[in-house]
Amino acid sequence: MAELNPAHPPGRYPVVIVGSGPGGLQLSYALTRLGINHAVVSEDGSPGGMFQRFPILQRLISWSKPHAPAERGTRSYERFDWNSLIGDEPAHRAILPQVMDGSSYFPSRSEMEKGLAAFAERAGLAIRYGCKWESIAREDDEFVLTTSDGEYRSRVVVFAVGMAEPWKPSIPGIEEVPHYAETRPPRDYAGKSLFIVGKRNSGFELADGLLPWARQIILASPHSALLSVVTRSLVGARARYLQPYEDHVLGGGNLIMDLSIERIERTTEGYRIHAYGTTVPGRHMIDCDEVIAATGFQVPMRNLRDLGVVTIMQDRLPAQTPFWESATVSGIYFAGTISQGATELKKYGIPSSSAAVQGFRYNALILARHIAEKHFGIEQARPALRPESVVDFLLSEATEAPELWSQRSYLARVVEADESGGLVDGGIVPLAHFVDSSGPDGAAIAVENDESGDIHPALYVRSRGEVEEFLFPSSPMHDYRSQDYRMAMKDKVDALLR
């Protein structure tokens, strides 16, 4: 347990971050490197956020590969290490593989906690633990954050508190059903029939972990199960949890059903589910010993709605701009898994990876630079580029940049014309911002999946306020630095290079 309350006493700060999960830690690290004084307050007693409690059955679905095609600790290696936070110094990089026991390249929950704690310690991040955020109000041009330790005042407040509150849909009787967060030890389900409401990763995680124990497991929701190996993206249940699906299709006794659940009743022996088939019409009445609602989580909003923060996704998530600012309250930002509420293109219906560490760690780095520029006038370096280097630069980014591979169709590397007529590296930015803004002429390279799931480099060229998109062919080796790609890229950016 970390020592409580050594840092950041109540008072006025340029920025206040609420939360000490990976999103809050990454943002604090980046702001510190930019020289921006800030306070971090956390209800928890140590780093880790939701990883102190979830996943219920311990092992993550995001990989950190000890041995990979890129050298550990390099920028390229980040593409193969989805769980480590991003640091500037060697001691702050690729920490997760260092604390894993080698039995799997999916870290356990305890290994993830250990890695986050090591990052915070090595980076010297100052966090006020055991300080609970209670409410927020606006007074003149600043926010007043009331906590269990007193009031914090700031013009910029960033909430990195996670999708931490259990959420259930409006189904009569579901209030009597334990949520995923209340799942008991596996042995408690031995020999019992179990009905799981929900067919996303949390539902499949429970089904997979309880297969050796439960007599029968039924997973149900209105829509057919999506599988990542079929969508060829992170949309759908991950391959780690597909044993229940195989059991279902091979007739092993466990079932995956497309049902609209009308109500859930308690009985003397357990539960009765009243449902109607969606894919195959027909009424169903299912008796079972146990029910678990694997129906997801929501952001703990407290009184943010009263402040004017608008929400989306059935009131579960704040609506945000491409730079993770509240869409309705300037100066309120979000980091970590909450950043999935930002405006994005969702090409071919595929969302960003902002719900997971491998995605939102990059969002936090960009957010820190955005806050520095917008609120403190600290402009970021924009290195000049020689016109003859631009084609190779963009193709190299498409091949190797972990930001683009982790956040496909969401983050892009930008090259822009500056005021003198030269070209500069505009850095990594949200693709939606580049497409929708009226900035200078430029080009943005991203990595995207097409409608079949195949991976391609995609180029967006902005000229005189108009943006044109070009999708380049895929490469079996995911290497886009050949002469053919150079010629195709040069043809598209030729006007920018003149």
State pLDDT tens for residues 190-243.
999 999 999 999 999 999 999 999 999 999 999 999 999 998 888 899 999 999
Q: Give residues with Cβ within 8 angstroms of 68, minimum separation 6.
A: 77, 80, 81
152 Cβ contact list (under 8 Å, min separation 6): 10, 11, 12, 13, 16, 39, 41, 144, 145
* φ and ψ at residue 229, rounded to 5 degrees: -70, -15
| Contact predicate 298/316, CB 8 Å | yes
Q: Sign of the CA dihedral 240, 199, 84, 358?
A: positive
| Cα 268 to Cα 245: distance, rounded to the nearest angstrom | 30
- pLDDT the model gives residue 35: 97
State the pLDDT confidence band at 54, using cuts at 50, 70 and 90: confident
Task: Of 261-270, 358-367, 417-426, 483-492, give the lowest mean pLDDT range.
Answer: 417-426
Is the alpha carbon torsion for 476, 477, 478, 480 positive or negative? negative
Tokens 């910029």: give the residue.
Answer: 156
Alpha-carbon span 353 to 64, nearest angstrom: 16
Q: What are the beta bridge partners of residue 218?
A: 195, 255
* Closest by Cα among 480, 335, 467, 330 to 394: 480
pLDDT of the residue at 349: 82
Task: Please state the rounded mean pLDDT for residues 344-354.
Answer: 88
pLDDT tens digits, 122-159: 999 999 999 999 999 999 999 999 999 999 999 999 99
252-280 pLDDT, tens digit per residue, is 999 999 999 999 999 999 999 999 999 99
Average pLDDT, the chain: 95
- The whole-number average pLDDT for the span 293-300 is 97
Give me the count of residues in the chain. Answer: 498
Q: What percent of the chain has pLDDT over 70?
A: 99
Residue 55 has pLDDT above 50, yes or no: yes
Q: Where does the pLDDT of residue 420 fall: very low under 50, low under 70, confident under 90, or very high at 90 and above?
A: confident
pTM over 0.85: yes
pLDDT reported for residue 2 = 44
3-class state of residue 159 by DSSP: strand
Say if residue 404's pLDDT is above 80: yes
Residue 4 has pLDDT above 80, yes or no: no
